[in-house]
Structure 1
């Protein structure tokens, strides 16, 4: 089996990945999944990996034209889901990885707002995060992982256990919004496609929520402080805007 998908965006949910997906699709040298599929969710599919995985199932999500190009997969849960990164490595050891990171406090709150608006979450925000550990029963959970999924350091450590640093690009989602041209040029250079072709900036699925109480924002920043410092050390990103000090 010849590896066909060349890169993946593995993080993070509610971190601007849908916008990045649109920008990647707009580049003439990049092939993405065939609509209506948005995120392949191949490497986090436990049914597929209950036996020897059939990679043709994966490839059928793409057109022949897309597979003949530089081919990408945007599935943010890969960074968080157990064994997903190891499975990506087994599929294509040369895969390039883009990890999009958002302020963990904002990501946590946005994640809860999404699940609550869908009706998959019935609890208020404070009660939801206070009961999260019990509800996810210690492991990964697709819904009840507001805080757990926002702890990026273990995810970055796991990624770097399987892929060389030069295969990984870490981007802050607010930087993608604030410096669109510069960041997209950096991403395209990393992917070895024409970095002078910059898709027009657009807002994708932007939502506005009631502001979090300041005391809760402070408490969550205190909770994430140590993890943020670790992520800075692991990635070289400047995350002082996320920290208390």
Structure 2
């Protein structure tokens, strides 16, 4: 158990811990839309995994402290940091943990495609070999799809009822029920229906000019290295979304290659995800569509 102690009485009411590429940005936007929920600014603070040494005062400054509001944040990489679980439990033993899960094989493929977009400027012409090369280069694609492994430290640190498990599939199938369940879980009025219920966020895109795409991304990356420039860039992005609008001008309409996880993930990685899935299935009822996907992967 991490022996960290906190002298301050402040703590968030809930934290979203993952999983990456599982509609956590959508979940954040729905929670932020609620009049009695205050979400951190920006979304992914990564306090408990990457910035813990900055202290609780730094963490608290990302919340305005609106009177009477529940406070929460979502950082999907928390599920990839076992130490974060004990740090959270030390800060607030009553913390509620929100978890968005996606079919683990599909999550790995989506993660690969997202990174392929950054490397190649799109995914329309990316081959299975290209994606397999990425998968072999970094263990994160498989590791972050091993949900049982990722959730075990949190199940050890918190009672099971403090983990709210929600599924990516419901974002498309029944978003209103999903949002009501999320609101109820964190302790907010579940009768509220947000206006942005059906918006789509962070879809993988293709761009007409890979060169321009990389230039725009490169400018923002370079700017982020210098504090004064970074603050100016953050203001521009927050108020005009200039970068996104510019990239949208370069975007082509369609771009996802007709590839499956079985096409791109090495056999040992598929087996690793499958074994973790079977462990998780003993403690959480999975969506029917995931069960069908397992049958297909075993065929």
The TM-score bracket by the shorter chain reads 0.7 to 0.9
List aligned pairs for 1:35-50, cutoff 5 A: 37-45=42-50, 48-49=52-53
Question: What corresponds to 1:162 in structure 2?
Answer: 157
Where structure 1 has 5 or more consecutive residues not aligned to the other structure, the ranges are 134-144
Let me know the Cα RMSD of the aligned residues: 2.5
Report the Cα distance in structure 1 between the residues aligned to 2:44 and 2:37, rounded to whole angstroms: 15
Question: What corresponds to 1:236 in structure 2?
Answer: 285
Q: Does 1:9 align with 2:4?
A: no
Structure 1 residue ranges (4+ consecutive) displaced by more than 4 angstroms after TM superposition:
217-223
TM-superposition CA deviations, 1:94-145 (whole Å, max 9, x none): 1000111111121111112222322399x92112223435xxxxxxxxxxx1
List aligned pairs for 1:176-187, cutoff 5 A: 176-187=171-182
* CA positional deviation for 1:211: 2.0
Report the Cα distance in structure 1 between the residues aligned to 2:19 and 2:262, rounded to whole angstroms: 25
Q: Cα gap change, 1:197/1:54 in structure 2, threshold over 3 Å: closer, same or farther?
A: same
Number of equivalences: 227
Report the Cα distance in structure 1 between the residues aligned to 2:294 and 2:193, rounded to whole angstroms: 31
Question: What corresponds to 2:263 in structure 1?
Answer: 216
TM-superposition CA deviations, 1:124-173 (whole Å, max 9, x none): 2112223435xxxxxxxxxxx11111111111222100010111111111
Question: What corresponds to 1:28 in structure 2?
Answer: 35
Q: Does 1:226 align with 2:275?
A: yes
SS in 1 for 2:294: coil
Q: Contact 1:105/1:217 (CA < 8 Å) preserved in 2?
A: no
List aligned pairs for 1:56-67, cutoff 5 A: 56-65=57-66
* CA positional deviation for 1:201: 2.1
Q: Cα gap change, 1:113/1:215 in structure 2, threshold over 3 Å: closer, same or farther?
A: closer
1:204 to 201, 211, 218: 201
Report the Cα distance in structure 2 between the residues aligned to 1:242 and 1:214, rounded to whole angstroms: 10
Q: What is the TM-score when the length of structure 1 is the normalising length?
A: 0.83
More helix, by proportion:
2
Report the Cα distance in structure 2 between the residues aligned to 1:213 and 1:116, rounded to whole angstroms: 15
Q: Cα gap change, 1:102/1:214 in structure 2, threshold over 3 Å: closer, same or farther?
A: closer
Q: What is the TM-score when the length of structure 2 is the normalising length?
A: 0.69
Report the Cα distance in structure 1 between the residues aligned to 2:261 and 2:80, rounded to whole angstroms: 28
Q: Contact 1:85/1:159 (CA < 8 Å) preserved in 2?
A: yes
